[in-house]
Amino acid sequence: EPEVTQTPSHQVTQMGQEVILRCVPISNHLYFYWYRQILGQKVEFLVSFYNNEISEKSEIFDDQFSVERPDGSNFTLKIRSTKLEDSAMYFCANSGVSWETQYFGPGTRLLVL
Amino acid sequence: AQKVTQAQTEISVVEKEDVTLDCVYETRDTTYYLFWYKQPPSGELVFLIRRNSFDEQNEISGRYSWNFQKSTSSFNFTITASQVVDSAVYFCALSEPLNQGGKLIFGQGTELSVKP
């Protein structure tokens, strides 16, 4: 069964450093999402991406965040200058068509020191 | 604005008990989808079920069943004869329409602990 993969599974970084989180979606899926979950809290939407552009972004997704599909397969989330409060689990999700089920990757646990 | 409320923060049961997880949602849209996801201790989010707003039939899948009542804006999840492996955090989620981005709005989650 096809699945979403994410790398790395864990990342520790120093405050102010740039991080890139990578996701390999299920092939032929068209809609891509990033969510994050601060430890012990609910899952929060960050950004949706379709047809090589952002469809919607949340208040959390400020100028420090960016997304792209550099090679048509991987889907990346970049945080330019990490803050302590960026420490969270980051999930990639994708769906075939909008309103189909969103399938989630296993997550990247980011720790900013 | 869309909102999902899971009032039960934690539930603890003994194996073989039945347990119901509550979910109440708010939306002004007439067409929407509702979901349940399971997050085991390992951290991944596992899809359990999707229900669209036009289908109020209850659904049963093995020990799992879901009760969707549009009149009360609720989408409750029942586990029959619970097992230790059911221990996890369960999230209810509401999907926004495509013209609003299609994102999922999650509830706070209910942590279920099933003790042997």
B84: closest CA of chain A, how far (Å): 21
pLDDT above 90 covers what percent of chain A? 73
Q: Which residue does chain A place closest to B4, by CA atoms?
A: A42
pLDDT score, position A50: 87
Cα dist from B29 to A31, A82, B1, B22, B56, whole Å:
21, 36, 10, 21, 16
* B40-65 pLDDT per residue, tens: 999 999 999 999 888 888 888 899 99
Tell which wins on pLDDT, A47 or A73: A47
Ranges of residues in chain B with a pLDDT under 70 are: 98-100
- Statement: residue A95 has pLDDT above 90: no
- For residue A39, pLDDT beyond 70: yes
Residues of B within an 8 Å Cβ radius of A: 33, 35, 37, 43-47, 50, 91, 93, 95, 97-98, 100-109
Mean pLDDT, residues A63-85 taken together: 92
